[in-house]
Structure 1
Amino acid sequence: MSPRHEPRRLAIHLRGFLNALSRYFSFPLRLVHSLFHSILQRYSRVASTRFKRIPNTDGPSGRVAGSILPQHNLSQLFPVPLPGPPSNPSPPPSNHVPQPNPATPVEFQPFTPSEVMRYEKRPKIEPIDKSPIIQPLTRDYTDIRGSENWSALVHPEGALYFHDFVHGIYTDSDMQNQDRRNKMDSYIAELLCEAAGLGLNLTGGDDIELVVQLFRKRDSQICKYYFVDHPRRLILWIHEQHTEKLFEGVRGVEKLSHIKYAVEHQYWSHCEMYPNVNLDGPALLKELREVVVHASAENVTTDLSLSPFDGDELSKISDLISQIQENVQRKGEYQVHSICVIARFMRYFARAKFFNFCGLAAARLDADQSVYVKTKESKLIVALSWAFNAALFGAPESHMSELRRVWVDRSINSPRWKNFNNQLSSEWSGITMYSTVMIAVDVSFLAVPTVMPSDGSQPPPVVSTYISVFCIVGSLVVSLFLTRQNRRYGQESADKAVDFLMKVTGSAFGTKALATVHSLPYAMLLWGMVYFVFAVAYQVFSSTSSITLATTGSAFGLVVVFTLWLIRAARDFHVSTQLIAWFKAHFSRD
């Protein structure tokens, strides 16, 4: 080919390469183009809805993103020209004070000290590696300051809260923000005005206090509050207060004298969260000492004490009271730490009084006493419970009686709950050891040549041993699972234990279901032993020797008689007594 045709040939190859390249990339390019086109259309629709028109009779209307700026600030940021002679803009005077924005609609809601969001939804800290420099001779390390009437305080636990010493107001809301502080002041003024109309005045003394906390809603601000009456140890509200959370699930609460203990429990919660050193510390400490002494005496003299603490815990509380007394005598005044300690213990005792219906004719006087009318169970539940109890060797009934001494009227006594779980852990640990031994015994029995035939057949002793192994392995697995669960929930606080028990006893069977689950390790171990005894007995009694049958049969019968006798004696069941009662019931002429 001549050299003059070379450029044409190269052009043809280049054109073919570009056509192939366009075919390969045309689809991705169209896809990207359509994607960007749809995004631009969506953005244009969103932008058109987010912009609002500002009416202006004297000029063209402007538009501002409504989601960024509040409507009442638009005129300040974008002033509308007024009719009149033109004038040069002048800077605002130095003493100009900006007018506060119109207050956001507020909704006042009563709440309790236990609902204060101190331990929930705490602010988070960014994990930034930063090393600030401390200036020379720095002596003031205060960077969290109050303002005007608000003073920043630190709780002994470390929580930050603010206190208005002039009016006696507390809040967990951050008062360092000027806008929030202005809102809070206006809301408090409105709340106090409404309270004054009902005859409740906040004088700023130590008798009446106010706690407020701000919450944000979609279109309004929620200001939750409660008043505190220290002389009467009460929490007050100027609106209706629902009692679902106040009663904590306790049923049958009707008397005001009973409700007072629930309110007093909330009062001590307030004193614990916002300690006031101006309270009558000596009188409170003396009252706490008397309560602890009485509870200690109950723990010593009876095992049905209603005290929320056991003997060891009460002894430690007595030591703490003595230490507080020594510190007060040395320093001459009560500190916030001492007030917090006293209020915390008083809160537990007040709560126990409420749960036990203290002061009523039907008050609970023993830890295992129910105060409610016993409801009649359905016949189906009774029949199924009896069947399960018989199939599991009466273990559910035994666990049921123990559980009823702890879980009474949907409430628990903390010391008895801990003792109950310690007993369960000991029982399941022993069953785990016995199950391990029984597995070894079953496997050893299967290794006997006369038990396992060489022809591959499966005689009844082998099948029975297999079932025994399955039962014992099930007992071992359930014991390990329940032991782990007991370690998780058994040592929890009373509130978490109540939540756990409410969850597992919420079925139609109630506490019977939990008692049945607790009895499974023991029952399955016994079934494994029964099947193993059957395998051994079948292997022994299948012998053709009459001497062997006579000796082993008599020994086996004697063991069975003694075993059943001991079981009946342990269950306080006597055959003769039952027969006499049956004859009297059926053949008596009366």
Structure 2
Amino acid sequence: MQKCPKSSSPTGPSPTITKGTAGSEANSRIALKLVPIAPESFQRYTRHRTINKCDTDYVVPPLCRSFPRVSLPHWNAERHPEGGLYFVYTEHRIFTDAYLYDAAPFAQITSAIAQLLARAEVQQLLNTDSSHIDIVLDLMTESSDNDECGYYFVDHSPRIIFWLDAFSMSALHHWNQVPGIASPTHAKMCLEIEYCKIIRVHCEYFPTAMPISPQIVGELHDAIMYGIGDAMSSLKSTQQFPIERLFRMLTVTKEMVCEPVPETARFRMNPGSVAVFARFMQDFAMSRFYHFHGEKTARLNNDKSVYGSIPRRSHIFAWLLSPLLFNMPLRYLRTLQVVNTDRLIYYASWQRLITTLRTEWLDLVLYGTLILNTNVGFLSVPASGLSTAGKVASYASVSFGVTSIFLGILLLRTYQVESPDVPDVTQAAR
């Protein structure tokens, strides 16, 4: 098959890197600072790449039926199901979505790899079992004067991420959401979130990186099954998803097919399925972390705080308005405080609260309508039949009735459009 002309290759050193290349040409020419980062800090969605908006043309040669990419030595270009482009280093399991077809990122990534492979601990890791070790590189800025490259390592055997340098856990978003973490096992659970974010981010960003097996898919299936049973049998379940969504997740999981790779002990799954699998796994890992699974203070009911009885501040505004509004503001405040235990909002509790509020708002509209009709009847009485004070009271009552109807309809319409069945309802308290 005749192939069309390829675009020019990047001008820069070929990333032909072997073990122990501490004095490589790339490393001596570009000295990058290697910075430990978390998968959540990966910049795929925050970096902004643009092209010139102008008219272009491309002439297709006669009989051209193949449009191959530029071939980069030792690199494979992969396309994410979402559309993004990333690169896989063939000699080791190294991943990056730096645009290696440009000269500057090409040279910088080459230098970063040389610096990593020159370190003795990396050599020991790769010599021990490199088939389960992934390395991810992320240039801090995409410019010719960039001097930093973020990195993290993934070990798929214990399902954890690690670094060559010290890493502060306070840099992780989820760590800062849960005060009081004291045990190494709970800290490891936070890293498991990052691993599942790796499953979601690293393996969702780089689907070819995830070593899938029927056992791992079975773990997800079992977690969903338990979630369904727990949500069905308890009103205080700590499951973050409604039963309907768990059933849909179970259906999708059953459709995920692990196919054995011929002549190996490994399995493969299509990249799109891997990305979805990654998202589901991270959701359950986050739940385990937030609820202190396996710890002394594990949260078993969604209305119990792991921090004990914490004095709750009542707003002075609610105290002042409560006598005028039949004590409803304080009642709503206490209900919201229970639903928002430890700043976690559960779908089932949120749905029950919204359903109750909608019923009360509907009654508010009904009562307001009745009061409005009654007052219109009073005001239709001839002037001699009502005193001035009575008229003033009727007009005030009409005003309050119209306001009640307006507010009730507004709230009903708002929460009819903004249904509580949204994917990020558990993050509403952030």
Superposition TM-score tier, normalisation by shorter sequence: 0.7 to 0.9
Equivalent position of 1:308 in the other structure? 240
Would you say 1:168 and 2:93 are equivalent positions? Answer: yes
Structure 2 residue matching 1:314: 3-state secondary structure: helix
Alignment of 1:474-553 (within 5 A): 474-483=403-412, 486=415, 487-488=417-418, 490-494=420-424, 498=427, 500-502=428-430
**Measured at CA, do residues 400 and 377 of structure 1 come closer, stay the same or move farther in structure 2, by a change above 3 Å?**
closer
Deviation at 1:323, TM superposition (A): 1.6
Measured after TM superposition, the shift of residue 146 of structure 1 is: 5.2
User: Which amino acid is 1:467 matched to?
Assistant: A
Distance 1:105 1:429 in 2: 67
- Whether the 8 Å contact between 2:32 and 2:108 is mirrored in structure 1 is no
Relative to structure 2, which stretch is displaced further, 391-400 or 284-293? 391-400
Where do 5+ consecutive residues of structure 1 fail to align? 1-98, 503-590
User: Against the structure 1 CA distance between its residues 485 and 194, is the aligned structure 2 distance closer, same or farther, given a 3 Å change threshold?
Assistant: farther
One-letter amino acid of the counterpart of residue 393, structure 1:
F
**1:395 maps to amino acid:** M
Partner of 1:232 in structure 2? 158
Deviation, 1:390, is 3.1
Is 1:139 the counterpart of 2:98? The answer is no
Aligned-pair CA distance for 1:405: 4.0
Moved more, 353-362 or 129-138: 129-138
**Post-superposition shift, 1:423?**
4.3
- Relative to its length, the structure with more helix (as a share) is 1
Instruction: Tell me which residue corresponds to 1:34.
Output: none
Flag structure 2 segments of 5+ consecutive residues without an equivalent: 1-24
1:303-328 alpha-carbon deviations (Å, 9 max, x no partner): 21212221111111221222224x74
2:264 paired with 1:334:
no
C-alpha distance in 2 between matches for 1:472 and 1:463: 14
Map of 1:157-196 to 2, 5 A cutoff? 157-194=82-119, 196=121
1:146–1:176: 8 Å Cα contact kept in structure 2?
A: no
Q: Against the structure 1 CA distance between its residues 122 and 444, is the aligned structure 2 distance closer, same or farther, given a 3 Å change threshold?
A: farther
Cα deviation digits, residues 275-298 of structure 1 (max 9, x gap): 246614211111111111111111
Q: Which residue of 1 aligns with 2:213?
A: 281
Structure-1 residue corresponding to 2:199: 271
2:47 corresponds in structure 1 to 121
CA contact (8 A) 1:268 1:346 kept: yes
Is the deviation greater in 228-237 or in 265-274? Answer: 265-274
Amino acid at match of 2:158: R
Alignment match of 2:398 (pick from 461, 466, 469):
469
**CA-to-aligned-CA distance 1:344-364 (integer Å, 9 cap, x gap):** 211100100000011111110
CA 1:437–1:281 in structure 2 vs 1: closer, same or farther (change >3 Å)? Answer: farther
How many aligned positions are there?
394
| d(CA) in 1 for partners of 2:409, 2:54 | 44
1:396 aligns with 2:329: yes
Does the 8 Å contact 1:277/1:336 carry over to 2?
no
Residues 419-498 of structure 1 mapped to structure 2, 5 A cutoff = 419-450=352-383, 459-483=388-412, 486=415, 487-488=417-418, 490-494=420-424, 498=427
* Aligned-residue offset at 1:421: 3.5
Residue number in structure 1 paired with 2:339:
406
Give the structure, 1 or 2, with the largest relative contact order (CA under 8 Å, sep 6 or more).
Answer: 2
1:165–1:101 distance in 2 versus 1, CA, 3 Å: closer
CA deviations on 1:426-449 (whole Å, 9 max, x unpaired) are: 543553454345434433432222
Q: Which residue of 2 aligns with 1:29?
A: none
1:531-571 alpha-carbon deviations (Å, 9 max, x no partner) = xxxxxxxxxxxxxxxxxxxxxxxxxxxxxxxxxxxxxxxxx
Deviation at 1:125, TM superposition (A): 4.7
**Partner of residue 167, structure 2:** 241
Conserved? CA contact 1:104–1:220, under 8 Å: no
Specify the alignment match of 2:15 in structure 1: none
Mapped to 1, the partners of 2:371 and 2:60 lie a distance apart of: 70
Coordinate RMSD, CA, aligned: 3.4
Query: 2-side partners of 1:134 and 1:262: how far apart?
Result: 52
Classify 1:198/1:306 alpha carbon distance in 2 versus 1 (closer, same or farther; 3 Å): farther
Cα drift, residue 225 of structure 1: 1.1
* Aligned pair partner of 1:106 in 32, 36, 56: 32
**Structure 1 residues 469 and 426, CA gap change in structure 2 (3 angstroms):** same
Distance 1:197 1:295, change over 3 A: closer
Using structure 2 for the length normalisation, give the TM-score: 0.79
Q: Please, which of 336, 355, 375 is the counterpart of residue 310 of structure 2? A: 375
What is the TM-score of this pair, normalised by structure 1? Answer: 0.59
Cα deviation code 1:448-486 (max 9, x no counterpart): 225776xxxx72222222222332333344445545654
| Contact 1:277–1:339 under 8 Å retained in 2 | no
For residues 139 and 429 of structure 1, do their structure 2 counterparts lie closer, same or farther at Cα, with a shift above 3 Å needed? Answer: farther
2:279 matched to which residue of 1? 344
CA distance in 1, matches of 2:141, 2:124: 29
Give 1:234 shift.
Answer: 0.6
- For each residue in 1:89-133, what CA deviation from the matched residue of structure 2 results, as whole angstroms up to 9, or x when unmatched? xxxxxxxxxx87964553322221122122223323555455645
CA distance in 2, matches of 1:343, 1:255: 26
C-alpha separation in 1, matches of 2:238 and 2:182: 22
Name which of 340, 355, 365 aligns with 2:290: 355
1:233 positional shift: 0.7
Contact 1:215 1:224 survives alignment (8 Å):
yes
Identity score, percent = 26
2:130 corresponds to which residue?
205
Per mean C-alpha deviation after superposition, the further-off stretch among 149-158 and 203-212 is 203-212
C-alpha change, 1:120 and 1:489, in structure 2 (3 Å) is farther
